[in-house]
């Protein structure tokens, strides 16, 4: 399905063309027709399936179709994501897709100038993208309101649960207009019972979509499985790295301590590595990610929590 076949305003189509998108991915083809009609959406979708563009295209299109709610401190759209990296990614794609329409888009998260973000919100935004903690912080200070917010997007809902953000999420949702007065979209790697409970509690009869099991893993990734004991892991990993010396590697660890130990071990073996964990300073974090994206850093070791939602081409 081509985007031109859908009821998408020309300004948004211009952003889609600028982003280099031609045809809808399966997630976009499934969700956009109903989302563009104003229906609530609950979709199972993994990173790399085009889900971010799906909800941004729907939100931007509806923002152009519907009248502005009027003056006040409310952003027209609120997008909630679990990590700073995911907020940064959504912001970058939003500015690409929403640029031609002139939307004011602002990301808020910890580790960046607090007062600058506060002033930017006060000056007025159309789309506010943030992590729960920073969003609640500014909301409690009455820097902005959610009473007139027309669109809600919850991205990586299962990860928000895993990271303990459910009470923060409910805090935000209870301060929004009633669910039948706004459009809500939720995306999650899994539509577990607890995620669906949140949908039924805070959304207006959401239409459910699920990627078929055979398509859950991104097709471009070649997978190999090694059954090894704990004491054998490092040796097998070093063997894989030696077999493909010119590759780029993203290595996941379960804990911050394990990621830092592996980073030190790989450096001691002559590899150019860095680790990214939940407590890494934001500027250092962005520098590490930039180095990995441009190829100056060959190996990135990350915890699952810190890496969820990262988008790295190639």
> Considering 190, 215, 240, which residue would you say is the last residue of a domain?
215
Distance CA 176, CA 260 (A): 40
Residues 294 and 258 in one domain: yes
Predicted TM-score (pTM) of this structure: 0.76
Q: What angle do CA 193, 195, 197 make, to 5 degrees?
A: 70
> What's the pLDDT tens digit per position in 183-209?
999 999 889 999 999 999 999 999 999
Residues 279 and 194 in one domain: no
Q: Which has the closest alpha carbon to 88: 115, 60, 108, 103?
A: 108
Residues 241 and 197 in one domain: no
Residues 53 and 124 in one domain: yes
Residues 26 and 143 in one domain: yes
> What's the pLDDT tens digit per position in 227-275?
888 888 889 999 989 888 888 888 988 777 888 899 999 999 989 899 8
> What's the pLDDT tens digit per position in 9-20?
999 999 999 998
Both ends of the chain: CA-CA distance in Å?
A: 25
Residues 196 and 287 in one domain: no
- pLDDT of 70 over the 60 cut: yes
Residues 126 and 257 in one domain: no
pLDDT band at 213 (very low <50, low <70, confident <90, very high): very low
Residues 75 and 174 in one domain: yes
> What's the number of domains the chain is made of?
2
> What's the pLDDT tens digit per position in 143-188?
999 999 999 999 999 999 988 999 999 999 999 999 999 999 999 9
Instruction: Give percent of the chain with pLDDT exceeding 90.
Output: 61
Its sign, for the CA torsion 235, 238, 243, 244, is positive
Mean pLDDT of 302-309: 64
Distance CA 301, CA 261 (A): 10
Residues 60 and 127 in one domain: yes
Sheet holding 183-188, edge to edge: 105-108, 127-130, 77-80, 151-154, 183-188, 41-44, 207-210
Residues 8 and 157 in one domain: yes
Residues 183 and 249 in one domain: no
> Considering 215, 250, 269, which residue would you say is the last residue of a domain?
215
> Considering 165, 185, 215, which residue would you say is the last residue of a domain?
215
Q: Quick one: pLDDT at residue 294?
A: 84
221, part of any domain? no
- pLDDT of 217 over the 60 cut: no
38, part of any domain? yes
Domain housing 248: 230-307
DSSP three-state, residue 31 = helix
Residues 92 and 180 in one domain: yes
């Amino acid at each position: 399905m081509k985007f031109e076949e859908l009821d998408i305003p020309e300004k948004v189509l211009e952003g889609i063309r600028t982003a280099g998108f031609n045809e809808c991915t399966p997630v976009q083809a499934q969700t956009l027709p109903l989302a563009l009609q104003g229906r609530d959406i609950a979709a199972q979708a993994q990173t790399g399936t085009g889900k971010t563009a799906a909800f941004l295209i729907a939100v931007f299109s509806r923002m152009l179709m519907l009248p502005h709610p009027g003056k006040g401190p409310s952003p027209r759209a609120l997008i909630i994501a679990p990590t700073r990296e995911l907020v940064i990614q959504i912001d970058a794609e939003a500015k690409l897709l929403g640029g031609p329409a002139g939307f004011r888009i602002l990301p808020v998260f910890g580790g960046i100038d607090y007062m600058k973000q506060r002033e930017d919100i006060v000056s007025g935004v159309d789309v506010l993208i943030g992590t729960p903690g920073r969003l609640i912080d500014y909301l409690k200070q009455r820097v902005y309101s959610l009473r007139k917010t027309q669109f809600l997007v919850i991205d990586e809902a299962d990860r928000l649960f895993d990271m303990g953000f459910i009470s923060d999420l409910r805090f935000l949702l209870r301060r929004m207009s009633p669910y039948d007065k706004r459009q809500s979209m939720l995306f999650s790697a899994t539509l577990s019972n607890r995620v669906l409970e949140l949908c039924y509690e805070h959304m207006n009869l959401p239409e459910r979509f699920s990627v078929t099991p055979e398509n859950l893993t991104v097709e471009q990734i070649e997978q190999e499985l090694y059954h090894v004991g704990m004491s054998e892991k490092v040796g097998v990993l070093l063997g894989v790295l030696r077999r493909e010396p010119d590759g780029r590697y993203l290595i996941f660890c379960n804990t911050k301590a394990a990621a830092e130990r592996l980073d030190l071990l790989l450096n001691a073996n002559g590899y150019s590595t860095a680790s990214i964990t939940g407590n890494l300073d934001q500027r250092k974090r962005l520098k590490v990610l930039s180095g990995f994206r441009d190829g100056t850093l060959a190996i990135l070791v990350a915890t699952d929590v810190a890496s969820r939602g990262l988008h790295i081409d190639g």
